Amino acid sequence: MTTQEILLMKCRFYSKEIWGKEYKGTLTFIENDPCLGYFGIFANWKKTIEIDVRVLKHKYMVDTVILHELCHWWCYINKLGWDDEDKDFLKECKKVGDKIVYTEYKRFVPTKKVRQIVNKFERSLRCQEVSWTQAVFVPDV
Ligand SMILES: [Zn+2]
């Protein structure tokens, strides 16, 4: 399995866990200017979540970014305010443990809720006997 496939599985798993509806979009990688300070984009016009390759090195950070982008996705498909500052969006962020509006890269700390959902995903993979450990943090871009 490629990193991209696993991250897409995460998108589907997390969206189902949190909202009971599966994410049907795609996932791609981007390489941003580090000075920009954002690590993902929900590109509604392309129906994709774009993940900055830098976050792949950090366990939990990639998950936090995915969850943040899924909050954008959820608000967007439900015609709620889906911008970073919108109340609706911030409300959805709280469901996944708040503070998933970004902090600085070097000082990143995952929330308890993010750790829980990641562990749940990893358990579900073990049940399916999917080998994922090598793939997860090696970007194949
Ligand atoms: Zn955002």
Distance 16 CA to ligand 1 centre (A): 20
Residue 21 lies in a domain: yes
Low-confidence residues in the chain, pLDDT < 50? 134-135, 137-141
Residue 40 located in a structural domain: yes
pLDDT the model gives residue 1: 82
Please report whether residue 17 resides in a domain.
yes
Residue 141: inside a domain, yes or no? no
For residue 39, the CA-to-ligand 1 centroid distance in Å is 9
Segment holding 90, helix H or strand E:
helix 87-95
Give the Cα separation of 22 and 132 in Å (integer): 21
- Other C-beta atoms closer than 10 Å to the C-beta of 87 total 11
Per-residue pLDDT at 139: 46
Determine the pLDDT at residue 39. 85
> How far away, in angstroms, is 24 Cα from ligand 1 center?
19
Total of domains in the chain:
1
Domain containing residue 17: CATH number: 3.30.2010.10
Which of these, 11, 7, 10, lies nearest to 74 by C-alpha position? 11
Position 140 in a domain: no
Structural domain of residue 54, as residue ranges? 3-135
In the reported structure, the alpha carbon of residue 99 is separated from the centroid of ligand 1 by a whole-number distance in angstroms of 12
Tokens of 110: 């995952």
Q: How far is the CA of 127 from the centre of ligand 1 (A)?
A: 32
Q: Which amino acid is at 14?
A: Y
- CB within 5 A of ion ligand 1: which residues? 84
Residue 130 C-alpha to ligand 1 middle, in angstroms?
30
Does residue 51 lie within any of the structural domains? yes
